[in-house]
Amino acid sequence: MKDFTSLAPVSRKISDSTVRRLSLYLRFLEEFEHEGVATVSSRQLASQGATTAAQVRKDLSLFGSFGKRGRGYEVADLARKLKAILGLGRRWRVALIGAGRIGSALAEYGDFRERGFDIVAVFDSDPAKVGRRLAGLTVVAERDMERVLADTPVDIAIVAVPVEAAQAVVDRAAAAGVHGFLNFAPTQLHAPEGIALRDVNMSMELEALAYSLSQDADA
Amino acid sequence: MKDFTSLAPVSRKISDSTVRRLSLYLRFLEEFEHEGVATVSSRQLASQGATTAAQVRKDLSLFGSFGKRGRGYEVADLARKLKAILGLGRRWRVALIGAGRIGSALAEYGDFRERGFDIVAVFDSDPAKVGRRLAGLTVVAERDMERVLADTPVDIAIVAVPVEAAQAVVDRAAAAGVHGFLNFAPTQLHAPEGIALRDVNMSMELEALAYSLSQDADA
DNA sequence: AAGTGTGAAGCTATTCACAGCC
DNA sequence: GGCTGTGAATAGCTTCACACTT
């Protein structure tokens, strides 16, 4: 049994699927905690999340030994550890770039704040939007992005601008010190060296559904 | 070499990652087509999409032999074939359930229509929203969902209701004949037997970014 | 008895490498 | 010469199964 004195990430590279599952487990643990449940087994965690008990144990074992044999996992304790592993032991500062329909909806999306992500700046290139209030913030001209980011640095930027503008906005924000991006423009962006970027492509999700439905129809 | 007389899906089960890549390739092909490019190589397709030439060829080969050795793929032809494979040779009828901030933004999201998905009904449980116009449609009471879906059947429903309401809404809509769901409520829903469902969890994407950034910070 | 932690096995996905065709 | 299509090799992920702990 390894001795993990800290929760410092393990040398081994953790797959994206594992990270996503950890994030899911954390949610379930918070629900259990809310219901006053004190301990859970890998089986119980698995049943909530469409996975297997072995998978849960394997995922957790990548980071240490958090359970007690014969008993399971202590809910509050495991939740705390997962938070530390996922980097949620702190709050994250987020900029929103693009205050159109999707951007505005995201600015006011309560779940972000609830999960530790604070939107602290909003940018838009449309002069008609600049100066307006959105989710308690004043929309700033996209042209002033570098200047504002120098004053109020952020960790992550949410990109909600049109496809044509998206890559440029990422490159500029990355140069201005933003380390992670969540892109909602329906295109695959390229992250500068050393920068984390994830694409959320809603139309592509619908296309994947369309594929499934076409398959079923022939079956 | 196999003889694919139709584009009917192959018996082999196709992985989600392959489907997503096909959807990406299709976008690139449409861009190439728009630029007047007549043929592309697997290398060119790969370079756009952060994958490898071998992966592109493998993905395509699961469905047939679409290229010409020494020449590459004919852009318009391959685009047509990918559309057929993905089930995009037709338009899809979509209901939106939940006309809150996210729902409203999705209702007006142009890319859906552009990619073949027409929102033809909008439901909400809030009496204050019922009767309002949204993206050219009148918001209908969620309670009347079954009645309306009987008249105007849809293939897919987009779920944009609060977490607490999400599973019930899926169960009801599935019973009313909806075959696929795209869920935006930040929870993992369970699809009834034979129903396709995908979760888009935006907070979870941010958490995955937070994980990456925490990793980088220690490196 | 119950349930974790984990090496080993099994499975799936990606990459390699090259014969075959244009 | 260039590039596809594809079996073979490799890598990565999931499941199994069981020793071990409470």
Which whole number is the average pLDDT over A168-175? 98
Asked if B17 is an interface residue toward chain A (Cβ–Cβ < 8 A), one would say: no
Gap from A143 CA to chain B (nearest CA, Å): 25
CA-nearest of A35, A174, A37, A182 to A98 is A182
pTM strictly above 0.75: yes
User: Whole-angstrom Cα distance, residue B124 to residue B161?
Assistant: 8
Contact A123, A95 (CB under 8 A): yes
Local structure of B143: helix, strand or coil: helix
Show residues of chain A in contact with B14, CB under 8 Å.
211
Which A residues, 148 through 177, put their C-beta within 8 Å of a C-beta on chain B? 155-156
- Note the pLDDT of residue A1: 38
Which nucleotides of chain D does any protein CB come within 7 A of? Answer: 1-7, 12-17, 20-22
Query: Which chain B residue's Cα is nearest to A157?
Result: B206
Nearest nucleotide by C1' position to the B60 CA atom: D5
CA-nearest of B2, B20, B37 to A200 is B20
Residue nearest to nucleotide D1 (CA to C1'): B70
User: pLDDT confidence of B7, banded at 50, 70, 90?
Assistant: very low
Show residues of chain B in contact with A218, CB under 8 Å.
8-9
Give the model confidence (pLDDT) of A95-127 as tens digits. 999 999 999 999 999 999 999 999 999 999 999
Q: Do A216 and B194 touch (CB under 8 A)?
A: yes
Q: Do B48 and A188 touch (CB under 8 A)?
A: yes
Task: Assess whether pLDDT exceeds 50 at residue A3.
Answer: no
- Note the pLDDT of residue A216: 81
For residue A49, the tally of other CB atoms under 10 A from its CB is 16
- Note the pLDDT of residue A5: 35
Which one-letter amino acid corresponds to residue A201?
N
Give the model confidence (pLDDT) of B73-124 as tens digits. 999 999 999 999 999 999 999 999 999 999 999 999 999 999 999 999 999 9
Contacts of B11 (CB under 8 A, 6+ apart): none
